[in-house]
Amino acid sequence: MKAKKSLGQNFLKDENVLANIANLFSSTKNDLILEIGPGMGALTKYLIQKKSLVVAYEIDERMKEYLDKLDNLEVFYEDFLKCDLSLLKKYNYNNLYVTANIPYYITTPIIEHILKNILPKKMILLVQKEVALRFCALPNTKDYGYFTVYLNHYFTCQKQFDVKPECFEPIPKVTSSVIILDLKEQRENLDEKKFFNFVKLAFQQKRKTLKNNLKEYWFIILPVLLDNGYNINVRAEELPYEMFVKLYKEVMKKEV
């Protein structure tokens, strides 16, 4: 089947890689696996062997002839970004696992759509290597940014292995990577929308210091920064997730 460039389709065909991805799952018969963009079912055929129910969203209806033949699978042929994920609750699962081979241009929107509606126990994603490095980056590295902190609020992120372009059909121009996002058992109890806006503001001009990006909060957060060993020229990319939480909570104290 010819891949549609408009959908960013690159079909993973390497059976060793597919099996390795499936082996990263530890789901049981009482769990639910959500697969986004199963294509012709290359990974799906491994997932349904896990005994968990697999629910998939596939925008390309040409895939019906492949997917409708598989057992223990329910497929919604629609745009995942427009779907109502609250419908998944009807499956009455214990834990939710998410997997996807995500085109670069919709990686962030897909993750945001998931997290605004459901919180998976684990997400196993195949993404462009540069995206994987950004998601799993550490402070004081060029890849560290707003979305890294956003993900760190919910998950611990780990890059598992790279996938060569030759493992796909058609062959992409970039290397891909498999990453695991593990849901944290305990998360900070805060207004997430306000917190993420605060972090986004801190990164709005990455080359500038926090003093410039967070002008309106500077005299509130300065004592916290100094107490934690940072100087007045600190940039957002130097701060770990936990430090952003401290700064945000201090700002909220003053606004109450």
Number of residues that this document lists for the chain: 256
> What are the extents of the domains in the chain?
5-183, 192-255
Same fold for the pair 5-183 and 192-255: no
Burial grade of 177 (CB within 10 A; 0-12, 13-18, 19 or more): buried
CATH class of 192-255: mainly alpha
Q: Residue 174 carries which DSSP code? A: S
Domain 5-183 has CATH 3.40.50.150: yes
Q: In this structure, are residues 114 and 80 in contact, taking their beta carbons and an 8 Å threshold?
A: no
Q: How far apart are CA 233 and CA 236, in angstroms?
A: 10
Strands 155-163 and 176-183: antiparallel
pTM of the model: 0.93
What pLDDT tens digit does each residue of the chain (256 aa) get?
Answer: 676 766 767 889 999 999 999 999 999 999 999 999 999 999 999 999 988 999 999 999 989 999 999 998 999 999 999 999 989 999 999 999 999 998 878 899 999 999 999 999 999 999 999 999 999 999 999 999 999 999 999 999 999 999 999 999 989 999 999 999 999 999 999 999 999 999 999 999 988 999 999 999 999 999 999 999 999 999 999 999 999 999 999 999 987 5
Of 9, 58, 4, 57, the closest CA to residue 32 belongs to 57
Of 88, 132, 140, 139, the closest CA to residue 111 belongs to 132
